[in-house]
Amino acid sequence: MERRNFLKTALLGGLAGVVQLKSNGLLARGGSISVAKENDLVAVMGGEPEVMYAKAIKAMGGMSRFVKKGQKVVVKPNIGWDKKPELGANTNPKLVAVIIKDCLSCGASEVIVFDHTCDEWQVCYKNSGIIEAAKTAGAKIGFAHDEKYYRDVQIPKGVRLKQAKIHESILDCDVWINVPVLKTHGGTKMTISMKNFMGIVWDRRFWHANNLQQCIADCSTITKMPALNIVDAYRIMTQNGPKGKTIEDVQLAKALFMSTDIVAVDTAAVKFFNQFREMKLEDVGHIGQAEKLKVGTTDVDKLTVERIKI
């Protein structure tokens, strides 16, 4: 009986998922038509993760702008720590799920989710809620806990970081989407989109030992950059980051930032964060260093920005 019930539920759930995926896809495509000019950066606040994402991606021209039919996609959240979603140490699983669904509805042949975690990887994947959310949404789970999953990549534009071992899923995919969470960081002051690259490389110790801020900026000069950066600022960790201790470290900010420009999106996120706790842009060294390397711009005002309040 148990098993039969389970199968029934699974089947119904599957059907529901298919139906929902379709409607989502329609929505996204509809959006791309209504927006005349493509935005460089979209900021949303005041809603639930799924709602904010829907508004933002619509304003960006829909996911179909980035993901084409038959493409292999990687969604790279931050799953660094063995912490529950409400503690804000990892990317919100709800956001990860809705992005995966959207990619699949745009015809992605597969979506892989992975992170090179700091705590033991299996507990991180599990307790962050991401493995369950991702699997339900239809993604594959990538392993990243051993060197064998990484390949050497030259970084010619890097100042300190001249080469790094980068995860094979990133190298083999057609498109990847960077989905960090907004947090403070004891070493780099802030961890956002660029810092999230530490989860696609194998040897993080090298970065720490060789001018961390510069290495982060250097890694953003790789050719295989994310097509889109989506910063989860629904819950933001304003102290004791990036791991955090208790729920006290978290503020419910209910925001989301999206951009193709990784420097711009990090700039916007720092400026937003500054309202909760003082944080000067120049203290987050890697953002300025990346701008110097022509990765992107910190001059948000020069970009086409859409701000949406829900």
Partner 1 sequence: MYKLLKRTRVWLSLLFLVLITLNFLFFANRETQFFFVLLKFQFVPSLLGAVTGSALVFIFLVILTLLFGRVYCSTICPLGTLQDIITKTGNLFKSKKSRRFKFDRPYNWLRYSILTIVGALFIFGITLPLAYLDPYSNYGRISSEILSRSEQLIHNGFSQIFPENVSFMNYSVFVAGSFIFALLFLLVIVILSAFRGRLYCNTICPVGSFLGLISKLSFFKPVVNNNCNHCMACVQKCKSQCIDVENQGVDETRCVACLNCMQACKRGAISYKFSWKRTILKRILKEDDIANLEKIDSKERRRAIIAIGLMGTALAARAVNFGPIPSAKPKITGIAPPGAQSIEHLKKNCTACHACIAACPNRIISPATNEYGLDGILLPVLSYKEQFCGYECNICTQVCPNGALVSMSVEEKQLCQIGKAKFSLESCIVYTDRTDCGACNEHCPTKAITMVPYRDYGLYIPKLNQNICIGCGGCEYICPATPVKAIIVYGNEVHDVAQKPSLDEQKKIKVDEFGF
Residue 19 or 209: the one with the smaller Cβ distance to partner 1 is 209
Helix (DSSP H) and strand (DSSP E) numbers for the chain: 10, 12
If binding is defined by CB under 8 A, does position 300 make contact with partner 1?
Answer: yes
CA 177 to chain centre: 6
Q: Residues 56, 96, 106, 118: which binds partner 1 (CB under 8 A)?
A: 118
If binding is defined by CB under 8 A, does position 302 make contact with partner 1?
Answer: no
CA 20 to chain centre: 23
Residue partners of 234: CB distance under 8 A and separation at least 6: 48, 49, 52, 92, 95, 252, 253, 254, 255, 256
Whole-number Å distance between alpha carbons of 87 and 145: 23
Residue window 170-209: x/- pattern of binding to partner 1, with contact defined by CB under 8 A: ---------------xxxxx--------------xxx-xx
If binding is defined by CB under 8 A, does position 263 make contact with partner 1?
Answer: no
If binding is defined by CB under 8 A, does position 212 make contact with partner 1?
Answer: yes
If binding is defined by CB under 8 A, does position 78 make contact with partner 1?
Answer: no
Whole-number Å distance between alpha carbons of 174 and 130: 22
Count of residues making up the chain: 310
Q: What is the DSSP letter of 198?
A: G
Residue 2 or 278: the one with the smaller Cβ distance to partner 1 is 278
- Binding to partner 1 (CB under 8 A) within 2-61 occurs at 43, 45
The residue ranges that bind partner 1 (CB under 8 A) are 43, 45, 82, 118-120, 122-123, 127, 140, 143, 145-149, 185-189, 204-206, 208-214, 238-240, 242-243, 245-246, 248-249, 251-253, 255, 267-268, 271-276, 283, 285, 300, 307, 309
